[in-house]
Structure 1
């Protein structure tokens, strides 16, 4: 059992005075949560596009979250869904290629698609970026990346390939590893693989594991990143009592919070980060440091 697990168990079973206080008091003296732009500033620009990165930068948001999948010819592209229907015009450009799965199209074919018109005419012609293009745009703005490996079961070896792409773009140097990069997934096996391949990379597990299993997750994940509707101040405090693989307390980045009231609520729980489509709304709802 990790060194902090005894305290976690005590907290879970007995509670503490802090957990019995109203959320605003429980957070007294705590650091302001990090605000992360979900798929870029996706309330204001088409998700996972360079325009959404630019909008996050315009709003003054340093951290950007994205989703990575793989094309038929092995290119890593930034897209949330495992098919292209919702956010591109693939049905018009390739009408005979249903069900329009990402893995069934080459990178050149995907580069032909309009990934902006669905969101609004101002973004007509926006493209699905490659991971390299996305990282280049983040670097231009001196931003930070919370990268989600999406659907790893569909793409064997995507963890190693993603790490290689990050290395090729200079994102595995000391500066990025220290404060500018986190790799996460809903798959614990995928997160574990990333940790085993490159132990210096900070990792996060997307989900809400039972507290009885947190010690296992703490072996390979630096963060537990749950849906905001699944957590409480007790759960957050218990997670944070465990030390992760780099000897620091586990963090909690919660998602997807898009309104001021919920932002203040989860900040009161003591979360370390808030993932949001509307990063300006969340940032402005939080108390100043």
Structure 2
């Protein structure tokens, strides 16, 4: 069994994701024995990650579930971006050459809105922008999609859990219907997952990592899911997670990440995982369809 204990101190520096999943992700995939397929940062192998274009690409490919990441700007706007720095996925170095290391928290929302978040990926996406969380939620709603939302780097953004939940509430995503089968809040920070659960107990939550089996009972008090890297899990570990009931009295679930090839998709599906997070959802779907 491949397991890795995750220290709370280190996880607090890594980030958080918000996921809302149905009671049974396998059922939601429309194939009773197949794992749910979640498009990681949108269909990010085919469009620039965490942009509206990536969300739309996933929708066109027929995928209902998308995953994203949330950071906070200098003036308090929540934006959808994976890295704490803008440098990798935008032209920030060109637009603001003297402001290294180009961290999101050092730029206003208006400054971030000026950046090109698509050209780095492909010139066809030139002009794509870093969406605000509100813009992103509106697009996901328009596409009739469902969300896996990760709150990134919560140690950098005190209070981001409450702020994220406020945006979700304002956009109608904390309604009973959404809480039932459209949303889960996930994080690498156990403290953030616990905070989300305390603030909004109805929200399904997930911890990103691979806690030791001996620690699963502790996580079951505030996390509905344990979402682990595919390199760290085994059939026995998956079964151990699913043997616990989460905070809503239902068996805990496991989504595994980030699986982009058919062989590993079939392997983890054989372990009985509830879902697979992937940059190539079409590859995973083809590999795991019964």
- TM-score w.r.t. the length of structure 2 is 0.89
- Decide which of 219, 222, 231 is 2:221's aligned counterpart: 219
Measured after TM superposition, the shift of residue 31 of structure 1 is: 2.4
Q: Secondary structure at the match of 1:219?
A: coil
Would the aligned equivalents of 1:30 and 1:270 in 2 still touch at CA under 8 Å?
A: no
- Decide which of 164, 171, 174 is 2:173's aligned counterpart: 171
- Decide which of 102, 105, 109 is 1:103's aligned counterpart: 105
Q: Secondary structure at the match of 1:226?
A: strand
**Take 1:250 and 1:63, find their aligned partners in 2: how far apart are those partners?**
19
Partner of 1:259: 261
- Decide which of 235, 238, 248 is 1:236's aligned counterpart: 238
Larger RCO (CA under 8 A, 6+ residues apart): 2
1:87 matches 2:97: no
- Decide which of 100, 120, 123 is 2:122's aligned counterpart: 120
Measured after TM superposition, the shift of residue 49 of structure 1 is: 0.2
Mark the runs of 5 or more structure 2 residues left unpaired by the alignment: 1-30
1:286 matches 2:288: yes
Task: Write the mapping of 1:2-81 to structure 2, written as runs, cut at 5 A.
Answer: 31-81=33-83
The count of corresponding residues between Structure 1 and Structure 2 is: 260
Measured after TM superposition, the shift of residue 233 of structure 1 is: 0.2
**Residue range with higher mean Cα deviation, 159-168 or 29-38:** 29-38
| RMSD between aligned residues | 0.9
Measured after TM superposition, the shift of residue 43 of structure 1 is: 0.2
Deviations for 1:24-51, whole angstroms, at most 9, x for unmatched residues? xxxxx97210000000000000000000
- Decide which of 139, 159, 165 is 1:157's aligned counterpart: 159
Q: Secondary structure at the match of 2:71?
A: strand
Partner of 2:134: 132
- TM-score w.r.t. the length of structure 1 is 0.89
